[in-house]
């Protein structure tokens, strides 16, 4: 009996040891499983790389007068760093191939494109030592270089980035070979129907391709007008008999309220007054596609039309006389107008809109 008791005690001790060993192994296994559940995602450069996709011109002529126009919209492919976090882009420019110094044109971009204006290009060109003065030794042509950087992470330690190859852009600063002759003439419209009344200053006439024909654009109220030279009464014309023929010192010309184009033939002393407007029409404008259009005002000093207008998300075009006979859009979204061109997409906001129907350019400046 004594021998059997000892044997049972040894069996119990070994059983306890086995149970403790199993518990220890289970604990290690659990900890190992817990450690395995903590996954770490590591961002890696996209093996496909990043590259520009836009086609560039042979050369980009740059003029300060077109500073707000789009010079080029840079487009690139999306990059996949293999992590579920947003990828951002940065468009860089440099005046050297080695990018010893860079100018960041756009950063923290979520879209794969960015528009660069003529003003941006001119600033870079000046850094490169170019100018448009034919009297200096500095060249007016040169090359600018662009790269796009893709990255994830918010600081130097965690940031993973990838760069495109350098894209060269040839630019030309248009030289001032001669002073631009003003198109404003010495003739103007005066009268109680004009914005400044009989005392002036007068609404200016501007030159046309015909040296004998000048035109003025005026917003008139009901009243009377005359045509005079040099904002002075020494030489003035009216229409005695209201027959479209002018006489020196003739009768005042009666007009109704409206926006008009006045054409004056200085050689034949004849004139015409016809309703005339330029305006904005479209889903982005206050009155939609049916109009009436948001009116533009003419500035003879710059030969341009402008307005300050509140727009909503949508599209618009420039239209003459509130009708679909002459209209302009922007095919290619490059800041250049084409007759009957594509609708212009805009985002909601308050804008200064300026358009030249001689240069066929326009700008939308957010306020």
- 189-215, pLDDT tens digit by residue? 999 999 999 998 999 999 999 999 999
pLDDT at 38 over 50: no
pLDDT at 36: 43
Architecture of the domain defined by 278-366? Sandwich (2.60)
| Mean pLDDT lowest among 30-44, 256-270, 310-324 | 30-44
Percentage above 90 pLDDT, the chain: 71
Name every residue whose Cβ is closer than 8 Å to that of residue 241 and which is 6 or more positions away in sequence. 251
Q: How far apart are CA 367 and CA 360, in angstroms?
A: 23
Mean pLDDT rounded to a whole number for the chain: 87
Residue, of 157 and 158, whose pLDDT is higher: 158
pLDDT at 178 over 80: no
17: number of Cβ within 10 Å:
10
Percentage above 70 pLDDT, the chain: 86
Q: pLDDT band at 177, cuts 50/70/90?
A: low
Nearest 5°: CA angle at 291, between 288 and 293? 105
Q: How far apart are CA 309 and CA 285, in angstroms?
A: 8
Q: In this structure, are strands 327-329 and 88-94 parallel, antiparallel, or unpaired?
A: unpaired
Residue 254 tokens read as 């009666």
| Mean pLDDT lowest among 143-157, 261-275, 297-311 | 143-157
Domain 60-173 and domain 278-366, same fold? Reply is yes
Domain 184-275 belongs to what topology?
Answer: Immunoglobulin-like (2.60.40)
pLDDT at 31 over 80: no
- 251-283, pLDDT tens digit by residue? 999 999 999 999 999 999 999 999 999 999 999
Q: How far apart are CA 132 and CA 124, in angstroms?
A: 14
Q: Quick one: average pLDDT of 90-100?
A: 95
pLDDT at 137: 83
Q: Which of these, 121, 139, 119, 123, lies nearest to 131 by C-alpha position?
A: 139
Indicate the pTM of the whole model.
Answer: 0.55
Domain residue ranges of the chain, discontinuous segments joined by +: 60-173, 184-275, 278-366
Which one of 2.60.40, 1.25.40, 2.60.420, 3.30.70 gives the CATH number of domain 60-173? 2.60.40
Q: Quick one: average pLDDT of 334-345?
A: 95
Residue with token string 């009297």: 135
Compute, in degrees rounded to 10, the torsion defined by CA atoms 121, 126, 128, 132.
Answer: 100
Residues in the chain: 367
Q: Output the DSSP codes for 129-195.
A: T--S-TTSSS-SEEEEEEEEEEEESSSTTT-EEEEPPPEEEEEEE----SPPPP-EEEEEEESTTST
Q: pLDDT band at 45, cuts 50/70/90?
A: confident
Residue 66 — φ and ψ, nearest 5°?
A: -105, 25
Name every residue whose Cβ is closer than 8 Å to that of residue 329 and which is 6 or more positions away in sequence. 317, 318, 337, 338, 340, 341, 342, 343, 344
Q: Where are the alpha helices (DSSP H) in the chain?
A: 2-36, 118-127
pLDDT at 11: 47
Q: How far apart are CA 239 and CA 225, in angstroms?
A: 10
pLDDT at 174: 86
Q: How far apart are CA 78 and CA 87, in angstroms?
A: 9
Q: pLDDT band at 68, cuts 50/70/90?
A: confident
Contact predicate 329/338, CB 8 Å: yes
Rg (CA), the chain: 36
Beta bridge mates, 173: 62
pLDDT at 47: 82
Q: Quick one: average pLDDT of 15-27?
A: 52
pLDDT at 367: 80
pLDDT at 18: 53
């Amino acid at each position: 009996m004594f021998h059997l008791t000892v044997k049972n005690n040894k069996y119990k001790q070994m059983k306890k040891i086995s149970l403790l060993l199993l518990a220890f192994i289970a604990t290690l296994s659990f900890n190992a499983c817990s450690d395995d559940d903590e996954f770490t995602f590591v961002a890696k450069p996209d093996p496909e790389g990043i590259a520009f996709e836009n086609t560039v011109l042979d050369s980009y002529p740059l003029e300060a007068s077109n500073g707000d126009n789009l010079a080029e919209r840079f487009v690139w492919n999306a990059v996949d760093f293999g992590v579920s976090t947003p990828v951002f882009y940065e468009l860089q420019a440099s005046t050297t191939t080695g990018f010893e110094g860079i100018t960041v044109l756009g950063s923290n971009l979520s879209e794969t494109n960015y528009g660069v204006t003529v003003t941006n290009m001119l600033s870079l060109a000046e850094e490169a030592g170019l100018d448009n003065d034919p009297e200096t030794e500095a060249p007016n042509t040169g090359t600018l270089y662009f790269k796009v950087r893709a990255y994830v992470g918010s600081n130097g330690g965690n940031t993973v980035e990838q760069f495109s190859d350098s894209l060269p852009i040839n630019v030309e600063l248009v030289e001032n070979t001669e002073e631009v002759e003003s198109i404003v003439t010495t003739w103007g419209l005066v009268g109680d129907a004009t914005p400044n009344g009989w005392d002036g200053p007068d609404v200016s006439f501007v030159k046309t391709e015909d040296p004998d024909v000048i035109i003025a654009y005026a917003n008139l109220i009901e009243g009377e007008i005359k045509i005079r030279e040099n904002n002075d009464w020494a030489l003035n014309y009216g229409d005695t008999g209201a027959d479209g023929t002018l006489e020196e010192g003739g009768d005042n010309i009666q007009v109704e309220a409206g926006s008009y184009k006045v054409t004056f033939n200085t050689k034949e002393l004849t004139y015409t007054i016809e309703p005339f407007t330029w305006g904005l029409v479209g889903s982005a404008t206050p009155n939609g596609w049916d109009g009436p259009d948001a009116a533009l005002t003419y500035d003879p000093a710059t030969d341009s039309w402008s307005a300050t207008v509140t727009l909503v998300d949508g599209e618009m075009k420039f239209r003459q006389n509130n009708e679909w006979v002459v209209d302009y859009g922007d095919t290619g979204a490059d800041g250049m107008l084409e007759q009957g061109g594509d609708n212009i997409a805009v985002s909601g906001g308050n804008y200064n809109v300026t358009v030249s129907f001689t240069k066929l350019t326009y700008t939308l400046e957010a306020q």
